[in-house]
């Protein structure tokens, strides 16, 4: 099956619903998902410099948008930065973009990758899967939304530790059973097709 933006969106939604929300890896995700406040952007970039320009555009768009309509953005790059080390190096450019746009402290960039690896862990360490998404993904968040969510969830500081415990209990076989990997490995992911209230767009390199 040829890769299409819709497949990328479907894969990401399945991962969000089964892993992030299903395993409660992020207690704040369900609300914005149910309300349709997640903006999905599928990048066509194949080079880091093109992805950076798209990131700048999406940061600006999120900052200028109505939070009740677009609370957060997932910028998904299925054709770019497949190597995790390259992706990790790109994050310095992403953080600098926040500073250059004077949005540091207003927005925040979280990062997810199919081969995400925490420092000091083995590549196959199950705890790495807390940050593994089907495709290289930049998650753009509003600092105000994070602050409100933390205020409403006093145990927020323990999320990281609880996620590690969840993954250890789940194990590799349990994760595989979720079927939230890359689309080419799991070609029938499209069980959670985008609903009418899902906002998404396709970015093309300049």
Radius of gyration of the chain (CA): 16
Contact assessment for residue 28 and residue 149, using Cβ atoms and an 8 Å cutoff:
yes
Residue 198 confidence (pLDDT) above 60 = no
Q: For residue 141, which phi and psi values (nearest 5 degrees)?
A: -125, 155
- 131-159 pLDDT, tens digit per residue, is 999 999 999 999 999 888 888 877 777 88
Which residues 6+ apart lie within 8 Å of 199 measured at CB? 36, 38, 39, 40, 70
For residue 66, count CB atoms less than 10 angstroms from its CB and return exposed for 0-12, middle for 13-18, buried for 19 or more.
Answer: exposed
DSSP secondary structure letters along 167-178: HHHHHHHHHHHH
Which residues 6+ apart lie within 8 Å of 109 measured at CB? 55, 59, 91, 94, 95, 98, 138, 139, 140, 141
pLDDT for the residue numbered 2: 64
Residue 109 CA to residue 187 CA, distance in Å, equals: 29
201 sits in which H/E element: strand 199-203
Residue 178 confidence (pLDDT) above 90 = yes
Which residues 6+ apart lie within 8 Å of 127 measured at CB? 118, 121, 163, 164, 167, 168
The domain locations on the chain are: 5-203
Q: For residue 19, list its beta bridge partners.
A: none
pTM over 0.75: yes
Q: Is 151 or 168 the better-scoring residue by pLDDT?
A: 168
- 105-117 pLDDT, tens digit per residue, is 999 999 999 999 9
| Mean pLDDT, rounded, of the chain | 88
Average pLDDT estimate for 41-58: 98
How far from 27 is each of 18, 30, 53, 67, 92, CA to CA, in Å? 13, 7, 31, 19, 27
């Amino acid at each position: 099956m040829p890769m299409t933006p819709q497949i990328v969106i479907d894969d990401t939604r399945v991962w969000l619903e089964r892993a992030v929300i299903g395993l409660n890896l992020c207690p704040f995700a369900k609300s914005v998902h149910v309300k349709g406040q997640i903006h999905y952007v599928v990048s066509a970039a194949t080079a880091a410099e093109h992805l950076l320009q798209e990131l700048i555009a999406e940061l600006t768009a999120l900052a200028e948008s109505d939070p009740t309509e677009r609370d957060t953005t997932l910028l998904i790059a299925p054709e770019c930065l497949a190597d995790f080390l390259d992706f990790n190096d790109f994050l310095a450019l992403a953080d600098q973009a926040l500073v250059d746009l004077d949005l540091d402290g207003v927005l925040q960039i979280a990062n997810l990758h199919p081969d995400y690896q925490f420092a000091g862990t083995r590549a196959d360490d199950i705890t790495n899967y807390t940050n593994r998404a089907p495709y290289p993904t930049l998650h753009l968040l509003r600092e105000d939304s994070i602050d409100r969510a933390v205020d409403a969830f006093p145990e927020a500081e323990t999320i990281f530790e609880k996620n590690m415990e969840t993954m250890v209990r789940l194990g590799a076989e349990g994760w595989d059973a979720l079927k939230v990997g890359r689309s080419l490995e799991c070609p029938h992911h499209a069980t959670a097709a985008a609903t009418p209230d899902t906002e998404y767009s396709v970015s093309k390199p300049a």
